[in-house]
Amino acid sequence: MAVRKPCLRSIGTVVAIGFLLLQLTMVVRARFVDARSFSWAPYTTQVDYWLEVEVAGRRLSDDEVSSRYRLWLWGFGRESHGAQDLIDVIDQYERTYGRWDDARVRLEYSVNGRPVRERRWP
């Protein structure tokens, strides 16, 4: 009688199918949240933004702001994923790495040329 060996290949297949389903879940999730992380939404939104950051009473230059949040990666001033992704970056930085900086941040942004909106920290 032939004994079936546990098949590692099929475990890989199960993992891969689970990974694909997870991606589809993220695509569906993106319909209900504003962020676009890991949702296969390439260049679906154009967010033009302006950031003012004051640390301990000193206003940072654009280069310093760009470095602070690493926004130079895709070009400072325009974000191509979603406004919430930009907000999440600033929010997380100010809650973690920059929590002792006593920073005041003002973000103005426009999504796809719509009227400008504002967000402030704290």
Partner 1 sequence: MRGRIAPILVSLNPLAVRGRSVPPPLVVVARFLALALVLLPERPFGRFLPHLAWLDDLGSFAAFASALHSAAAVGTVLVLIGPLVRTGALLLGGAYLTGLLACRPCQSVAHTFVACVFLMVALSSRRTGTALLRWQVVVVYVGATAAKVFDRDWWDGRYMETLLDGHALYEWAGSAGVSTEPVSLVLSLGTIAVEGAIVVCLARRAWWTAGIALGVLFHGSMVLFLGQTFGPFLCAILISYVAFLRWPGTVEVAVRRGPAWSAVRRLFAMLDSDRTFRVRPDPPARGLVRADVHGTPHRGLAAVVSIALYSPVAYVLAAFALTVAGEAVRSAVLLVLIGAVLALLPSIRASIGRARRRPGWTADASSGSLGGLDTPPMERTTP
Judged by the rule CB under 8 A, the positions of this chain that interact with partner 1 are 9-10, 12-13, 15-17, 19-20, 23-24, 26-27, 30-31, 36-46, 48, 69-71, 73-74, 81, 85, 88-89, 92-93, 96-97, 111-114
Q: Which is nearer to partner 1, 57 or 113 (CB)?
A: 113
The nearer residue to partner 1, 53 or 111, going by C-beta atoms, is 111
User: Which residue, 62 or 88, is less far from partner 1 as judged by CB?
Assistant: 88
Tokens of 41: 């939404």
- Tell me how crowded residue 121 is: count the other CB atoms within 10 A of its CB: 16
Amino acid identity, position 57:
G
Rounded distance between C-alpha atoms, residue 103 and residue 27, angstroms: 34
